[in-house]
Amino acid sequence: MNVRVKALGPLAEKISDNGDAVVLPDTSTLGDLLGMLGIAPSDVMLAFVDGALAVPSTPLRPGCRVYLSPFICGG
Amino acid sequence: MPFGYNGKILVVNLSEGTWTTDEHDETWYRTYWGGGALASWYMHKLIPPGCDPLGPENVLVFATSVLCGAPLSGFSRLTAAAKSPLSGGFGESEAGGYLGPELKHAGFDAVVFTGVSPKPVYLYINKGAVELRDAGKFWGMENAPLHDALKEELGEAKIRVASIGPAGENLVRYACIVNEFIHVNGRCGMGAVMGSKKVKALVCLGDENSVAFADPEAVKELNKWHRKAISEHMPNVNLGKNGTPMHVMTLQNNGMLPTRNWKEGVFEGAEAIGLPGYEKILKGRHTCYKCSVACKRVVNNTSDERYGGPEFETLGAFGSMCGVGVLDDVSKAHERSNALGLDTVSAGGVVAFAMELAEEGIIDTSDVKGFGDGPGMIALLEKIARREGIGDILAEGSALAAKKIGRGAEKFVCAVKGQEPGYHDPRGKTGVGMGFALSPTGADHIEAPHEVAFQGDAVNLVKPIGVLTPPKPLETDIDKVRFFVEGQKTWAMNNTLSICNYVVRPIFAMTYDKLVDTVRAITGWQTSLYELMLAAERSIVLARMFNVREGLGRDDDRLFERMHKPMPSGPLQGRFIDEQAFRTSLDLYYEMMNWDENGVPRRGKLHSLNLGWLAA
């Protein structure tokens, strides 16, 4: 299936065409996508699938939109 | 019968060695809730305007809240509040750990210290029984030995202790209060106020079942839900796994890791002090009362591992800010600060300031060498805590020290309202600059969530508080101000309710809906997010009004000069915050808050928040 992936900041460098489609096997999860992109879950602060907050086990569906935000806060 | 709180506040008159118990009705608790708001009420009522923060007329408040001590992750914050010896205005600092819940379980929602004890004392609250005990033999002790000695003297292994070290006794204006070695009311010099009152420690022993909840089964279910959410929610999972040290490299990679007294935003030693280096010293994890996040670190390169490992702000303070890329030196500086009772954020800022003065030839380099001198940094901390030599001047904080030093030293002060900021360069996230400028306590990096997190779809996290447009990190525009107004309230809400920012939205696991459910289950009050946000705004206005009466105003809401100069290198090279545009954004903030052009909350705003008693 195709999913669209957009990432912010340093994570964007891990994606060749930020915002474009990525091809994945059907039944893939967000964790599978991160693995394919070579992104460690610990480098991602927030992930959204179609605008909803997601976790690595969140299933992806054909055509969905994935948004990745890096850890960038502090405190 | 109240649910969630005791309905009792202990007021200790140190001058007389006596105490009374204040009892307020439900409406009072539902107005002031806890934390800084509750403390503000006492500060307004009991502290005479214009008093010396280190004199007998100041008041020191330890406050919990109607929620503190409930058995959920992060519902454990303890507020210490007083007139700040750094700013001369509102002082407030939060700590996690165990003391807050223990105080609550010992029978009181807050402790208010007034006057000055004629001799060193500590307050012992044992399941409702109150005792002021002699601390003469403990005066001069560092925090860990004191903790051990108190356990021995009282014969109780389960006591919880919040104490000051030599820095607080010596009235270092950024002395902190340490509970259980690693949890610290760090900011605003609350340890100095405690020292001025000759109070060495607050010791509590409570009964966990002493506070009733309106719906105990619902509290249990919400805790179960929260723990599961924490175990899956990526920000919490990563925070538990890596702790706050992970922020070193994220700030470094974005060019906003304050380096060498804010001169730069990229540090060549970042990997050594950040996660890559930290993984080599990591020995274990530690946590706060009932919290499953466990963001605290235990490390193998300190003398007494009970002091824990440095967190991000400390890594920035003693690492990049001082140009020290040796993690052993940074860990040692952290350990000594917790032992001596120094706020690491201010201490690092002050040492970096001194290092720059040394490099500029303004102070004698036999006292302090320039950037990168790790052993010199540690030695300087000892001198500051004991007010020896140059340490006596630096103990005043960078702003006051610069006035004493003269010779152009003021040019190198990086502080707002007398307080050194946490380590996030606002040139890469201007909302943090708004927090530095507008925080009632002086520069504060946790005044509002950092806007960089809410880009793209992540804006969905702040939609429940009315922010619908992602605030652009580098802009000082209307969207940014709107975000800051609501963001400030959401974190003020946490401070008012004694909840850790790391367990609740907008970023962390507990949703706003679940938070409201939790408040209902604990208190039985049919509340709403709207009411909680109003309580948060009330706390902001209470603090602002305290500053107004102390003479702080619009001119004090500003950034330090370096933020208006171009970043010399790194990803943010050339970036600076335009001074006029920034001023305009602060003025717009006043308007959005219904404050007047001088930054004073308008009469109508005071009345709308049930603060008519503050209206002139």
Q: Encode pLDDT of B309-356 as tens digits.
A: 999 999 999 999 999 999 999 999 999 999 999 999 999 999 999 999
- Give the pLDDT score at B99: 98
pLDDT band at A22 (very low <50, low <70, confident <90, very high): confident
Q: Which is it for strands B121-126 and B199-205: parallel, antiparallel or unpaired?
A: parallel
- Give the pLDDT score at A73: 59
pLDDT band at A75 (very low <50, low <70, confident <90, very high): very low
Q: Concatenated DSSP letters for B553-589?
A: -GGGS---GGGGS---SSTTTT----HHHHHHHHHHH
Are B439 and B493 a contacting pair, CB within 8 Å? Answer: no
Place of tokens 């004698």: B364
Mean pLDDT, range B358-386, rounded to an integer: 95
Spatial strand order of the sheet with B18-22 comes to B18-22, B9-13, B110-114, B60-63, B78-83, B90-95
pLDDT at B438 over 70: yes
CA B563 to chain centre: 22
Question: How far apart are the C-alpha atoms of B92 and B81, rounded to whole Å?
Answer: 4
CB atoms < 10 A from the CB of B452, how many? Answer: 27
CA nearest to B445 within chain A: A75
Packing angle between helix B579-592 and helix B478-497, nearest 10 degrees? 60
Phi, psi of B459 (to 5 degrees): -65, -20
Across the interface, which of A10, A46, A65 has its CB nearest the CB of B458? A46
pLDDT band at B1 (very low <50, low <70, confident <90, very high): confident
Across the interface, which of B423, B452, B460 has its CB nearest the CB of A72? B452
Q: Strand pairing partners for B124?
A: B131, B203
CB atoms < 10 A from the CB of B46, how many? Answer: 14
Q: Is B543 on the interface with A (CB under 8 A)?
A: no
CA nearest to A6 within chain B: B456
Distance (Å) from the alpha carbon of A16 to chain B's nearest alpha carbon: 19
- Quick one: CA dihedral B444, B245, A7, B225, positive or negative? negative
Q: For residue B320, give the DSSP letter.
A: I
pLDDT band at A1 (very low <50, low <70, confident <90, very high): very high
Give percent of chain B above pLDDT 90: 97
Question: How far apart are the C-alpha atoms of B75 and B499, rounded to whole Å?
Answer: 5
Are B188 and B419 a contacting pair, CB within 8 Å? Answer: yes
The complex's ipTM? 0.91
CB atoms < 10 A from the CB of B616, how many? Answer: 7
SS3 A46: strand
Q: Concatenated DSSP letters for B476-508?
A: -SHHHHHHHHHHHHHHHHHHHHT--GGGBTTTS
- Give the pLDDT score at B367: 81
CA nearest to A48 within chain B: B457
Are B582 and B433 a contacting pair, CB within 8 Å? Answer: yes
Are B512 and B500 a contacting pair, CB within 8 Å? Answer: no
Distance (Å) from the alpha carbon of B450 to chain A's nearest alpha carbon: 6
pLDDT band at B426 (very low <50, low <70, confident <90, very high): very high
Question: How far apart are the C-alpha atoms of B399 and B379, rounded to whole Å?
Answer: 21
pLDDT at B541 over 80: yes
Q: Encode pLDDT of B31-73 as tens digits.
A: 999 999 999 999 999 999 999 999 999 999 999 999 999 999 9
Residue of B293, B423, B353, B345 lying closest to B184 (CA atoms): B345
With beta carbons under 8 A apart, name residues in chain B contacting A47.
234
Q: Encode pLDDT of B146-185 as tens digits.
A: 999 999 999 999 999 999 999 999 999 999 999 999 999 9
Question: How far apart are the C-alpha atoms of B384 and B510, rounded to whole Å?
Answer: 41
Question: How far apart are the C-alpha atoms of B38 and B496, rounded to whole Å?
Answer: 8
> What residues contact B531, with CB distance under 8 A and at least 6 apart?
none
CB atoms < 10 A from the CB of B605, how many? Answer: 17
pLDDT band at A13 (very low <50, low <70, confident <90, very high): confident
Phi, psi of B361 (to 5 degrees): 75, 20
Largest CA distance in chain A: 39
Residue of B143, B104, B107 lying closest to B122 (CA atoms): B143
Phi, psi of B90 (to 5 degrees): -65, 130
Phi, psi of B510 (to 5 degrees): -75, 120
CA-derived radius of gyration, chain B: 22
Mean pLDDT, range A54-69, rounded to an integer: 94
Place of tokens 């530690």: B286
Q: Is B449 on the interface with A (CB under 8 A)?
A: yes
CB pair distance less than 8 Å for B235 and A75:
no
- Does this model's pTM top 0.90? My answer is yes
Q: Give the CA distances from residue B606 to residues B124, B441, B526, B527, B542, in Å, rounded to whole numbers and listed in that order.
A: 38, 20, 24, 21, 9
Packing angle between helix B529-549 and helix B512-523, nearest 10 degrees? 90
Phi, psi of B74 (to 5 degrees): 85, 0
Question: How far apart are the C-alpha atoms of B224 and B211, rounded to whole Å?
Answer: 20
Across the interface, which of A47, A65, A72 has its CB nearest the CB of B453? A72
CB pair distance less than 8 Å for B456 and A9:
no
pLDDT at B302 over 90: yes
pLDDT at A74 over 60: no
Residue of B440, B436, B451 lying closest to B483 (CA atoms): B451
Give percent of chain A above pLDDT 90: 57
Residue of B580, B106, B170, B552 lying closest to B391 (CA atoms): B170
Q: Which is it for strands A65-70 and A2-7: parallel, antiparallel or unpaired?
A: parallel
Q: Which of residues 163-202 of B touch A (CB under 8 A)?
A: none
Q: Which of residues 20-59 of A touch B (CB under 8 A)?
A: 41-42, 44-48, 51-53, 55-57
Q: Is A18 on the interface with B (CB under 8 A)?
A: no
List the end-to-end C-alpha distance of chain A, in Å, as a whole number.
39
pLDDT at A19 over 80: no
pLDDT band at A63 (very low <50, low <70, confident <90, very high): very high
Question: How far apart are the C-alpha atoms of B407 and B200, rounded to whole Å?
Answer: 37
What integer best gives the mean pLDDT of chain B? 97
- Give the pLDDT score at A17: 67
SS3 B377: helix
Question: How far apart are the C-alpha atoms of B501 and B449, rounded to whole Å?
Answer: 9
Residue A40 sits at the vertex; the CA angle it makes with A37 and A44, to the nearest 5 degrees, is 100
- Give the pLDDT score at A14: 75
Mean pLDDT, range B115-126, rounded to an integer: 98
Are B288 and B97 a contacting pair, CB within 8 Å? Answer: yes
Mean pLDDT, range B258-264, rounded to an integer: 98
Q: Which is it for strands B60-63 and B110-114: parallel, antiparallel or unpaired?
A: antiparallel
Are B238 and A56 a contacting pair, CB within 8 Å? Answer: no
pLDDT band at A11 (very low <50, low <70, confident <90, very high): confident
Cite the beta strand spans of B216-375 per DSSP E: 282-286, 296-299
Q: Is A16 on the interface with B (CB under 8 A)?
A: no
Q: Strand pairing partners for B259?
A: B264
> For residue A50, which amino acid is it?
D
Packing angle between helix B143-154 and helix B327-340, nearest 10 degrees? 40
